[in-house]
Amino acid sequence: MASAPTGPLGLGAANLGNLYAPMGDEQAHAVLETAWECGIRYFDTAPHYGLGLSERRLGAFLATKPREEFVVSTKVGRLLVPDPGGVGLDVANLFHVPAGHRRVWDFSADGVRRGLDESLARLGLGSVDLVYLHDPEEYGLGAALAEGLPAVAALRDEGLVSAVGMGSKSVEALAAGARSGLLDVLMVAGRCTLLDQSAFDEVLPECRARSVEVVAAAVFNSGLLATATPSESAHYEYAAVPPDVLVKAREIAAVCAEFEVELPAAALHYPLRDPVVRTVVAGAATADEVRQNHERSRGSVPDELWTTLRDKGLIRS
């Protein structure tokens, strides 16, 4: 069993939990099957994604594949508790699934182990390769790290998983995770992108110094960088696009066009310019989006593009 993500491109499975819009089981299967056909072997999910729907769909698919051929990660910190009073859909959390459960924060040792056990049951797997502490900053960073970091490290030390990490969009949380000396991998969400390089200041240097590997997630910043021409109707950071951010995204897209490189291709390649970044994880709502991301990740981007973006002050070195 592999200990960490493999290959330059992995599949993020938030869309399989009906993120932003409903997705049928057949469409979800097509997304996963296309990823497999493209050679993608790292799959990342979480209980948060569709109140467990993403894990169930991913697990049903992986049950048809040889266990030794893929790497799978999930996350701990949120438990799913039945909510008889839940009404309608979970759209407040951006997922179009029945609100029959609610999320309960729990970073304690017992909560982390229970979270892993429940994820394994939904996945239908005997083990996952990697477990991330998920969004500790949203609970209360100090308390979450004090309990959660030793709890996930214990899972690895006892041989229950091969590697442990943290998945977060908070540079403060990520830097603390790297400095702890307890983690193997950081999933840096949206902070190592063409529009947001805030992980460059402290997080990536700490990872290099401590031999912590990085998985770059949300490289399209929730969708704004996912098309060649950024749209004002796209999502940025799971919300509406601020006008100044849209202007910058379009300026970056214009430079990409000068070099005949699609903006999404540049977004996929950019984090991998730092050797500490091992893999980029990208989500997809359709099989075609998987193919496009795969083809873009396999292409090349001229160094002159990065130089031009840097000289125009659009990205950092």
Beta bridge pairs of residue 240 = 235
Tens digit of pLDDT for each residue in 16-51?
Answer: 999 999 999 999 999 999 999 999 999 999 999 999
Alpha-carbon separation of residue 41 from 59, 68, 142, 150 (angstroms): 14, 10, 34, 28
Angle at CA of residue 144, ends 172 and 190, nearest 5°:
40
Answer yes or no: 49 catalytic.
Answer: yes
* DSSP 8-state assignment for residue 89: B
- Compute the CA torsion angle 264, 269, 271, 275 (nearest 10 deg): 170
Banded pLDDT at 57 (limits 50, 70, 90): very high
Phi–psi pair at 52, nearest 5 degrees = 95, -10
Under 8 Å CB-to-CB from 73, ≥6 apart: which residues? 5, 42, 43, 44, 45, 128, 129, 130, 131, 132, 165
Alpha-carbon separation of residue 205 from 5, 80, 274 (angstroms): 20, 35, 10
Whole-number Å distance between alpha carbons of 45 and 48: 8
Token pair 């992986």 is at which residue? 62
- 71: nearest Cα among 16, 129, 121: 129
Tens digit of pLDDT for each residue in 208-267?
Answer: 999 999 999 999 999 999 999 999 999 999 899 999 999 999 999 999 999 999 999 999
Q: Which helix (H) or strand (E) holds 131?
A: strand 130-134
191: three-class secondary structure by DSSP: coil
Tens digit of pLDDT for each residue in 142-178?
Answer: 999 999 999 999 999 999 999 999 999 999 999 999 9
pLDDT, mean over the chain:
96
**CB neighbourhood size of 159 (10 A):** 8
Banded pLDDT at 6 (limits 50, 70, 90): low
pLDDT at residue 317 tops 90: no
- Go through the domains of the chain in sequence order and give each one's CATH number: 9-223+263-311 (3.20.20.100)
**Annotated catalytic residue: which of 42, 49, 132, 139?**
49
Q: pTM surpassing 0.75?
A: yes
Give the mean model confidence (pLDDT) for residues 299-308. 97
The contacts found for 235-239 with CB under 8 angstroms, 24 or more apart, are 235/20, 236/195, 237/190, 238/94
Banded pLDDT at 4 (limits 50, 70, 90): low
Residue 219 structure tokens: 């490289």
- What is the residue-wise DSSP string for 238-281? TEEPPHHHHHHHHHHHHHHHHTT--HHHHHHHGGGGSTTEEEEE
Identify whether the C-beta of residue 99 lies closer than 8 Å to the C-beta of residue 90.
Answer: yes
Whole-number Å distance between alpha carbons of 27 and 168: 28
Res 142: pLDDT: 96
Banded pLDDT at 5 (limits 50, 70, 90): confident
